[in-house]
Each structure stands twice: as C-alpha cells, then as structure tokens.
Structure 1
Amino acid sequence: MTSNHSSSSLETFLDQSLSDLKSKGLFSDIDVLDQANGPVISINGQKKINLASNNYLGFVTHPELIKASEEATKTYGVGAGAVRTINGTLKIHQELEDRLAKFKGTEAAIAFQSGFNCNMGAISAVMNKNDAILSDELNHASIIDGCRLSGARIIRVKHSDMKDLEEQAKEARDSGIFEKIMFITDGVFSMDGDIAKLDEIVKIAEKYDLILYVDDAHGSGVLGGGAGTVKAFGLSDKIDFQMGTLSKAIGVVGGYVAGSQKLITWLKSQARPFLFSTSLTPGAAGAVIKAIDLMEQDTSYVDKLWENARYFKEKLQRIGFDIGQSETPITPVILGDEKLTQTFAGKLIEQGVYVKPIVFPTVPFGAGRVRNMPTAAHTKEMLDEAIKIYEKVGKEMNLI
C-alpha cells in the first residue's frame, strides 16, 4: 500500500493528537458488525448480546419495514436523484411528511437526511446574530453546533434547572438587545436518560416569550405511545419546533422537524442541509412510514421496550451498580474514571456483552460510564445473561 503525501505539520499534529487521546483513555476503536444490528450481533464471528444500539423497538430488522423499503425502491429507485427543491421531492417524501405531522400532532413536518442535519439547518434558519439561544448544558453536540452556526448569543442554562432558566430568560428579555430568544433542550437526554421538564419549561417560555425547540431524538418511539416527549406531556400545541430522528426507535435513517405550516414552509426555503443535500432515499421513506404505521396500530412494541428496560435496570441496581437518574430505557452504569470505564467495557465485550464506554467529550471529565440500551427485541434470557456477565466482571474489578 502506498502512503499518501501529507505535510509534516499535519503528520506531527495527527501523531501527537492520536497519542494524546490514547494516553487519556479517550480513543475508541470502531468495530465492524458481520450482520444486522439486532439484539445479538456478530463481530469477527463472535456473538455478543448487543446493548449498545439505538434500535429501541427492534425495527432495524423488522420484515415489514424491509418489505416497505423494497417496494418503495422498486417504485421510485434507489435514490431521489436531486435535492428536494429541484426535482428530488417524490410523492413518497410528501406522504412521509404528512404522516410525521399527523403522528406528532402538528400542522406540518419537514424531513432531513439526518437528525444532525435538522439541528444544523433548522436553528440557523430562524436564529441569527441579533438573537439569543438559551441552551441546556447537557444538550446534544448537534444542538451545540447548530447554535454556533446561527451566530446567535449562546447562553448556557444549568441542566434541567428551572430557576436558572427563568433567571437567564428574564435577564435576556430585560436587556432589550435581542430580537428573538429561543430555549432549546433535548426531550430525553441521551447520556443520563432523564426527561426535560417540559410542563415547567412551557410556563417560563410563555412568561418571557421564548421560542421553544425540543430535540426528541431519544423520545420518539419511546414516550407518548411512540409519538415522543412532547406528546407524553400533552404539549403538542405549545412547542414551536419538535425535532426527532428516524434512525433510532424508528430504525431507519433521517430526521425531521414538526411544527406550524408557516415554520415548515420557511425551513423548506432556508434550511441549508435541506436545500443542498440530496433527499432521503425512497426506500428509507417507505420504511419510516411503515414504522409509524406499526407503532400506531400495535402498542406492544413500546410496551415491550419499557418492560425490558425496567427489568434490566432493577437487576443492575440489585447487584450494586450506579445507574444514575435515568427515567427512560437509556441505562448508564456510571464509573467516573475514563480509563476504568474503558477497561470495564473491554472486559464486558470480551465476556459477551457488547457495550461502549462513554467518556469525554461526550460526557464531562470524570463522568465516564458504560451506556446500556435494552430494546423490545431482547429476550429475558438475553438480559439475564448480560446481568450475569456484569456481576462477574464487576466483582473481578472490585466495582461491586
């Protein structure tokens, strides 16, 4: 294999930076799966109980989603052939957006190629340098990047701290220097599994005329009968932006923003990832529509997810692990030290439980954890086996 030419300064930067990451326990290898990302996965021919994926409802391998994807591909082709605003909007894209709006209880919706694209495109299409964005300090990286891209003043709000939110909102409003003020929060926080206090947030927003933006990536398909955190609180008419992904519980790929018809019309004319990236594939759109159908017709998927999550959490706590304040299926096992977290995850994987260590910069320094995602597709036997391995490794490392 011939070596690519690169400048000496780049070589020095890469060598030093990679070495630094590895020495701090912050470097992660990327594993390659032999087959589909189901409740049990195979890596290099070795089977592992999979507790690392976002495939909450087991839809990634659902035969009806596969069939819907195949049918849409046969009808419309493997790709849309253009960006949405040229001639890449197919009938199935319109059908998808209509279904999403109905599902989320809004007037309209816009589909993007990913959840990250939603946050990059939607925030900066509405907010600018004359505005302020109040942002929960534990918001997802894509929210942070979307806020930065907008050029608005970013004001960090202590995590789920309503007193701090009100103080920051009052100060921003009283300053008189901002045209618009937005508060943006995850619906479900992906590292701790706790839920935003939307009922209290709405009251503060109404008092200070805040635009409300909820990133419901980990709430869609999980809360509110699958329709998400906003639906669970009964606040569909109070939230300006409902953003979510189509790649987690929905099992496919893409993202969306649901809101008023006027907002969606604006985003379709101004959100740059929508304007300058080729549309979602027809196969993905067809599979997502089928996923929504299944959730609406049969509550057992969401019910099974929660049953498995409660079972797994209870067992982990019983053997002595700290699972933090999670209120959702996201189940962290919090250890703190980065290197300890990496070692623990490595031993779990060796023994047959596939998890990933979550360390800085995904979580703050000293907050390392192994994150578990029990799904509707896991059997009790799989979860029992995982708990057995957790207990064995935990005792070997004197963690419990």
Structure 2
Amino acid sequence: MKSPVVTGPFGLGKALAGREQAALLRRRTATDGSTGASLVVDGRDYLNFSANDYLGLADHPAIKAAFKAGIERYGTGSGASPLVTGYSRAHQQLEETLADWLGVEAVLLFNCGFSANQAVLKALLGKEHLLWQDKLNHASLQEMGSQLPCKMKRFGHNDMAALERLLEPNRGLIVSEGVFSMDGDQAPWAELATLAAQSGNWLMIDDAHGLGVLGPQGRGTLAAQGVDPSSVHIQMGTFGKALGVAGAFVGGSRELVDYLVNFARHYVYSTHMPAAQACAVSKSIALVRGADEARARLARLIVRFRQGAAALGWPLGASYTPIQPLLVGESVAALQLAQRLRDSGVWVSAIRPPTVSVGTARLRITLSAAHREQDVDSLLEALGPCPSTDQRGGAHAA
C-alpha cells in the first residue's frame, strides 16, 4: 500500500534524515528465536551477547509451564485495570512473595519499569519538592524528572561529594540505579543511605539490572552491598531481565503502596498485567532464589571476558556485572564493529547517542549464565586485538 504524503507541522522526515546522517538512526531487527545464549535472525544462528536474560531463564521449562498453567486458570489477559477487576489472587501472591524476598512491607506490580519509575516520581513530587538524580540514571527517570513541577538537580555519576553539596534538608527524593544499565557499574548504596538519612530526604533505587544477579538469593544490589532495605524508602525492579519474564514492581512501606494505589495514574488507569504472567514471575523468583550456582558461573564468565578483552587491549568500564560496555567513541565506528562481529556470527548491539553521551558510543556486551566458556572465547576471537585510536576514530576510555 502506498503511504500518504506526510505534510504538516512536525518535520518527521527531516528529523529522521538528521538521525541517519549522524549514524544515529534506529532500526528494528525481527528475530526468529532468542535465549540467553543464542539468537536466530533470517535463519542464521548467532551467539547472543545483547540480551538482558542474565540467568538464562527466559526459556526455562518450569517458568513456561507456570505461564501455561496460569493461562488455563486465568486466561490470557487480566481484562481490566487493577482497581476494577484486573487484580487477581495470582497478583496478590506475587506481591507477597516479592515483599518477603526483598524485605519490604508491601509491593505494587506494574506493566514495565518505565511506567513504574514514572508513576512514582509523578505521584510523589510537587512544585515544593526537589529531585536529585545521578546523571546516568535511566531515561524513564530523567524524562519524568524534567517534566515535573519540582526542581531536578543532577549530580555527577556516583559523585557523593557533589550530591552532598546539592542536598537540602527534608525537600524530596534522591534517585539512583543499583546497576547502571549502560555502564554496568554500581552506585555506593551505603553512602547514599547515609546522605538520605542525614538530610531527611527519601531514597529510591532502580534495581532493574541488579535484581536476580547480585546478592544472596539474588536479592539485588542492596543485599550485595550489605545495605539494610529499610534505609531505602522505594525499591523498583523489573521481571524482564534476570527473571526472564516481563513486568515490574515498586516496593516499600505499606503506606507508600496504598498511596500509589490511589495516586499513581500509570497504575490506576492501565490494564493490569495478565495473571498468568504473575504466575510465571512467581515461579521465576523461586528459581532465582536457589540459583547461587548460576550466579557463580556467571561471575566466572565475567572474569573470563574481562581478562581476555584486557589482554586484547580493549577499553572496558569499571563493571563486574553482566553488563560489559566496550567503549568505542564514535557512532560510525561502533556500528562498523558491531557489523564485523555479526559477520562472524556474534550478535552485539551498538549503543549510540542519545542513549549514551556524544563520543561514548559503545558495544554493550551482556553475559548470561546460559553462555559457555567457549562462547566467551568465540566473542573474544571475533573481537580480535583492539586497533589503535587513530584506526578506530575514537579515544580509549577507562
């Protein structure tokens, strides 16, 4: 079908052309199957180093069986928003399981992490408040913060001295990630908790990439760093990464959850996640809690990759999590390297501005417990020795 001629006030074609000229245009790739270790595109098998399936659970037979059983009992959808008829016993049981696992009083389920983050900020922060955010926080947090009537103050990445200088007593909310999604490093949560307590402000963690991977029983970044969960007022996590399903949650005090049930518009006015999905997530949590060996295997693979990449001269970030950013510099160079790996049967996505800062385009390599040692070795062989700075067209970064 021929597309209509697009005219009007929005300049869509010009915006797209500008992105393409700058090597920043995004296109989707339809896959024919994906697990934590492999990917099929156009009939070809690739080693997959771009998924967030950190424990390899997305294809786990027990989780799939729980999903199927949930469909048989509850159907394929929830049928309504949670305050109408969309809140089932399966949702309630998942919330209780999460609260017990993470050491919080209560939990509220959301369809995705983006809406969970935005719901919290929008529901809590008015013009009389302040919002402090790490400069590398996720786009969902940064975007909502820029749209709220409160004043947002961004501090340098993991710079606690800078945050302390910006803080004012009893004025609002400090937000940071547990594991940063593009750099893979962690925020210093003991220091953040101390600053929040001293200043009388609330503290929120986005632990989308730490949950399931870090800490005893996979309880996340706070547990890994020995931080009491009661010192962090709001926890957000997702089910679509290490847990291998989809959806998200917000946890904290019972009062917080009751408040969000009444005032979080993203929750009140959205059709709830299917009950069958909640069944699958509950099964996933049971598996994650007992997955210490998978986490240990993943840790060994991370060390193997880092040692191998360092020996080849590639610049790495200060990350000891499954997210291993290989910094390239310019967008064109990142795309070319990604294509070279793809030609070798290894799938790694190039991450470019505006997702990351200009001049810090990278390959975001992600490891999974589903990978084997020989998979990591194949990735390193495909990468080969790092070319010189001049050849790559970008600067090395620490």
TM-score > 0.5, shorter chain as reference: yes
Q: 2: distance between equivalents of 1:122 and 1:248?
A: 21
SS at match of 1:363: coil
User: Residue 223 of structure 1 corresponds to which residue in structure 2?
Assistant: 214
Counterpart in the other structure of 2:224? 232
Q: After TM superposition, which residue ranges in structure 1, 4 or more long, deviate above 3 angstroms?
A: 392-395, 397-400
Is structure 2 residue 204 aligned with structure 1 residue 213?
Answer: yes
Matched, 1:343 2:336: yes
Please list the CA deviations of residues 5-62 of structure 1 after superposition, one character each: whole Å capped at 9, or x if unmatched: 532444xx12211111111111122111111343111100111110001010111101
Q: After TM superposition, give the deviation of residue 267 of structure 1 in Å.
A: 0.8
> Counterpart amino acid of 1:193?
G
Q: CA deviation at 1:329?
A: 1.6
Give the drift of 1:163: 0.7
Mean alpha-carbon deviation: is it higher for 310-319 or for 111-120?
Answer: 310-319
DSSP-derived class of the 2:109 partner:
strand
TM-score by length of 2: 0.94
What corresponds to 1:159 in structure 2?
A: 157
What TM-score comes out, normalization by structure 1 length?
A: 0.94
In the other structure, the counterpart of 2:381 is 388
**Structure-2 separation of matches of 1:322 and 1:14:** 37
Q: Which residue of 2 aligns with 1:31?
A: 29
Aligned to 1:4: 4
| Mapping 1:209-358, distance limit 5 Å | 209-225=200-216, 226-233=218-225, 234-358=227-351
* In structure 1, distance between residues paired with 2:139 and 2:350: 17
1:127-179 deviations in whole A, cap 9, x for unaligned? Answer: 1111000111110001112323432110011111111010000xx33xxxxx6
Q: Give the CA deviation at 1:335.
A: 1.1
Is it true that 1:204 corresponds to 2:195 in the alignment?
A: yes
What's the offset of the Cα at 1:382?
A: 1.4
Deviation at 1:269, TM superposition (A): 1.1
In structure 2, the gaps of 5 or more residues are none
Alignment of 1:125-144 (within 5 A): 125-144=123-142
Contact 1:247 1:253 in 2 (8 A): yes
2:98 aligned with 1:96: no
Q: Following the alignment from structure 2 to structure 1, what is the Cα–Cα distance between the partners of residues 15 and 64?
A: 42
Letter in 1 for 2:190: D
Matched pairs, number: 390
SS at match of 2:126: coil
Identity across the alignment (%)? 32
1:204 is displaced (CA, Å) by: 1.1
Asked whether the 8 Å contact 1:241–1:258 carries over to 2, the reply is: yes
Per the alignment, do residues 35 and 394 of structure 1 end up closer, same or farther by CA in structure 2, a change over 3 Å counting?
Answer: farther
Q: Would you tell me which structure has more helix in proportion to its own residues?
A: 1
**Contact in 2 for aligned 1:216/1:243 (Cα 8 Å):** yes
Letter in 2 for 1:54: N
Comparing 227-236 with 272-281, greater Cα deviation is found at 227-236
Tell me, yes or no, if the aligned pair for 1:268 and 1:274 is still in contact at 8 Å: yes
Distance between the aligned counterparts of 2:102 and 2:360, measured in 1? Answer: 34
Work out the CA distance in 2 between the residues paired with 1:38 and 1:240.
32
Contact 1:57 1:250 in 2 (8 A): yes
- Distance in 2 (alpha carbons) for counterparts of 1:116 and 1:237: 24
Give deviations 1:350-378, integer Å, cap 9, x for gaps: 22110111111111100111010010001
Provide structure 1 residue ranges, at least 5 long, that are not aligned to the other structure: 174-178
* Letter matched to residue 324 of structure 1: G
AA aligned to 2:40 is S
Shift of 1:301: 2.3
Q: 1:298 Cα shift?
A: 3.4
Equivalent positions of 1:26-175 (< 5 A) are: 26-169=24-167, 172-173=168-169
**SS of equivalent residue, structure 1 residue 383:** helix
The corresponding residue for 2:184 is 193
How far 1:340 moved relative to its partner? 0.9
Q: Which amino acid letter does the alignment assign opposite residue 128 of structure 1?
A: G
